[in-house]
Structure 1
């Protein structure tokens, strides 16, 4: 069929592409190798509903607006005043109520542009001094899953720092029921638009005809036979904890010493844990060549500081290690435009969180998917292009 397209991969990127293509009148068939959709956006079944990694959405980004217009993220919560009052910082080995003043002065320079061709540590150290630079690296370590953000492009780190430290009410949003609930809504919406979604179907050879590859770069290299599909990513220890509730527990601890964080996800969404219990997720970036047990032990040490008596309150635990699956990080002299291109030629597009699209965290996957859908519509069907003018882009 002239207006048909195949999508390989049923994560957030693939489902976004399926919706965007179907809205443009294309006949969509999506293949997902696993029996469950979602990719890295899956969540555990109850009674503790933990995302496969530490997921949030930022409402100040265009991708959130796109999802919300289609009611794919509703219901969601935002941090309450009470939760924000229990926001803490780890710095100099202690849990404190406030970040260093040097960091606050640094992020006040919101009109300042950082260079892409210089490491953040050198640029920020020269302008703001070592204390602010170390604290900023701690904030961005969480977002990049990187133990040393100072070695990354100054422009890349600065953009993320300003997003995370934007003035006013925090833009973070928590999807009720975990990200699997959002994935289910996305799949249902795509099917209502006519998309065919098949799970448990692994694709080992590139399908004939127009195709959108919505996989990680490792799988894309094999499928497309292109060894150039590589880009740096982060690595981090992840711990999910089900705990008996303690009123002393903070809502969130931002680790300015080592770039990690502790967050009580069940505070904005109590459905993630049984009554009287809390779901807590921890992330700590691993150092270069650091073994998994060592990184996990450092994450536990952060929990020792942040969560009084947590070891005696554990009712459920899951450990994981994210390696090369945490989205792209841009080194000095590179920007998102230098990552693997979305358009691979001959009716093949590549999407995901490590390709040439702007945004932070999952925003890259959504932006690349929508870009590929637009390009596919232009290539496949003039009528699809006309239809695209009637739907939100």
Structure 2
């Protein structure tokens, strides 16, 4: 039996705790907040919002791991009628079908896209600059970045293929991500994991290896390591509860500028009281832009797609997420160049901005399992960074 400390009770921290406990370690989790989940937390009613639009992708390694432990739970299925309410803002108008250039790019193999070129410079000769920009803006749903075209072509193309897959990979745990978090926490406790919430550490405990499963900024402060930095997005988050009305879009994706609005009660009516619609959106903004500019863009899209929405508002919340929307890779870099999982002296990093592969929460999952493999299981790294 080996002692392992996990700092952070979000998705990565819970994966690490469960994996280590299953390997026979004594595990203690310290979470600074009173509730577990981190960015996977779902607000307690009446409007069960996540921190921005959330989905669980079936094609990732975490899906099989969660399913084997019966941690996914019931899924909210998207009715066919809702899929027909996909709207795309293109050239100032709402359309129902994706542009051909986007579909053409989504069918290209990930291996065609080079690491050392921008997505725009690679994709424009293939489908034209306008089509390449539309495809880049479509990926606001997965990248939370204001200029996807300036990122590494290989990085962007991997996400475009996954997001635009048919049948769709995106799945929605009924009740929001909190339902998954609660099942993970119950599993951890059943394995003997000690979980302390409201416990903000100012230094590392002295016994055994430590997995720091926090944001990169929090890890930088805790470890006193200024090198723990990586590119991330900056995005405005908007949550709205509206009086439900037939004809509202299910999804409104902006192809003229990066933005995404999704009516989550389309697939899971239980996220809001009967007769109410819950809309969550995210609008990436540049370094010099304000939250107000992002909100103004959201309201213009709402004017186009949600008739009379201003008079139907029952509840509203706005936020700005800066540097906490996951890693993005610039040209010439890959996930291998991000801060390493193994920090030496028995300290390991886990989270969505460290050196592990995957899309969205898959990075947190892979880095957590890598950390436990190195700290407790005594195995070779799952994902080499050589």
Report SS of the residue matched to 2:70: coil
Aligned match of 2:171 = 173
Aligned match of 2:204 = 206
Aligned match of 2:50 = 51
Q: Is the 8 A contact 2:6 2:27 kept in 1?
A: yes
Aligned match of 1:94 = 93
Report SS of the residue matched to 1:246: coil
Alpha-carbon shift at residue 111 of structure 1 (Å): 6.3
Q: Is the 8 A contact 2:56 2:170 kept in 1?
A: yes
TM-score (norm 2): 0.95
Task: Summarize deviations over 1:30-76 as a string: whole Å, max 9, x none.
Answer: 00011111111111111111112211111111111211221212111
Q: Is the 8 A contact 1:91 1:255 kept in 2?
A: yes
Tell whether 2:229 aligns with 1:230.
yes
Report SS of the residue matched to 1:207: coil
Report SS of the residue matched to 2:199: coil
Which whole-Å CA distance do the structure 2 matches of 1:315 and 1:59 have between them? 33
Q: Trace 1:21-100 onto structure 2 (pairs within 5 A).
A: 21-100=20-99
Q: Is the 8 A contact 2:110 2:154 kept in 1?
A: no
Q: Is the 8 A contact 1:142 1:285 kept in 2?
A: no
Report SS of the residue matched to 1:266: helix
Q: Is the 8 A contact 2:47 2:273 kept in 1?
A: yes
Aligned match of 2:160 = 161
Aligned match of 1:306 = 305
Task: Summarize deviations over 1:228-279 as a string: whole Å, max 9, x none.
Answer: 0000100111111111111010111111111211111011111101111111
Aligned match of 1:317 = 316
Q: Is the 8 A contact 2:101 2:135 kept in 1?
A: no
Which whole-Å CA distance do the structure 2 matches of 1:143 and 1:175 have between them? 18
Which whole-Å CA distance do the structure 2 matches of 1:302 and 1:338 have between them? 37
Task: Summarize deviations over 1:156-193 as a string: whole Å, max 9, x none.
Answer: 00110111111x32111111111122111111110001
Which whole-Å CA distance do the structure 1 matches of 2:105 and 2:30 have between them? 46
Which whole-Å CA distance do the structure 2 matches of 1:6 and 1:65 have between them? 25
Which whole-Å CA distance do the structure 1 matches of 2:149 and 2:194 have between them? 45
Aligned residues: 378
Aligned match of 1:390 = none
Which whole-Å CA distance do the structure 1 matches of 2:173 and 2:85 have between them? 20
Which whole-Å CA distance do the structure 1 matches of 2:36 and 2:308 have between them? 37
Task: Summarize deviations over 1:330-371 as a string: whole Å, max 9, x none.
Answer: 000000000000011111100000000111111110111111
Q: Is the 8 A contact 1:13 1:214 kept in 2?
A: yes
Aligned match of 2:220 = 221
Q: Is the 8 A contact 1:20 1:373 kept in 2?
A: yes
Aligned match of 1:382 = none
Tell whether 2:355 aligns with 1:356.
yes
- RMSD, aligned α-carbons: 1.3
Which whole-Å CA distance do the structure 1 matches of 2:372 and 2:270 have between them? 35
Which whole-Å CA distance do the structure 1 matches of 2:336 and 2:242 have between them? 43
For the structure 1 residues 206 and 112, does the alpha-carbon distance in structure 2 shift closer, same or farther, using more than 3 Å as the test? closer
For the structure 1 residues 244 and 125, does the alpha-carbon distance in structure 2 shift closer, same or farther, using more than 3 Å as the test? same
Report SS of the residue matched to 1:241: strand
Which whole-Å CA distance do the structure 2 matches of 1:112 and 1:349 have between them? 30
Which whole-Å CA distance do the structure 1 matches of 2:357 and 2:111 have between them? 19
Which whole-Å CA distance do the structure 2 matches of 1:13 and 1:378 have between them? 17
Alpha-carbon shift at residue 112 of structure 1 (Å): 5.1
Q: Is the 8 A contact 1:87 1:252 kept in 2?
A: yes
Listed as ranges, the gaps of 5+ residues in structure 1 are 380-384, 386-393
Deviating above 6 A after TM superposition, structure 1's stretches of 4 or more consecutive aligned residues are: none
Listed as ranges, the gaps of 5+ residues in structure 2 are 380-386
Report SS of the residue matched to 1:104: helix
Aligned match of 1:19 = 18
Alpha-carbon shift at residue 102 of structure 1 (Å): 2.0
Which whole-Å CA distance do the structure 1 matches of 2:214 and 2:74 have between them? 28
Report SS of the residue matched to 2:265: coil
Report SS of the residue matched to 1:31: strand
Q: Is the 8 A contact 1:237 1:299 kept in 2?
A: no
Alpha-carbon shift at residue 79 of structure 1 (Å): 2.4
Task: Summarize deviations over 1:92-150 as a string: whole Å, max 9, x none.
Answer: 11111112122222222236520011111111112221122011111112211111101
Q: Is the 8 A contact 2:110 2:157 kept in 1?
A: no
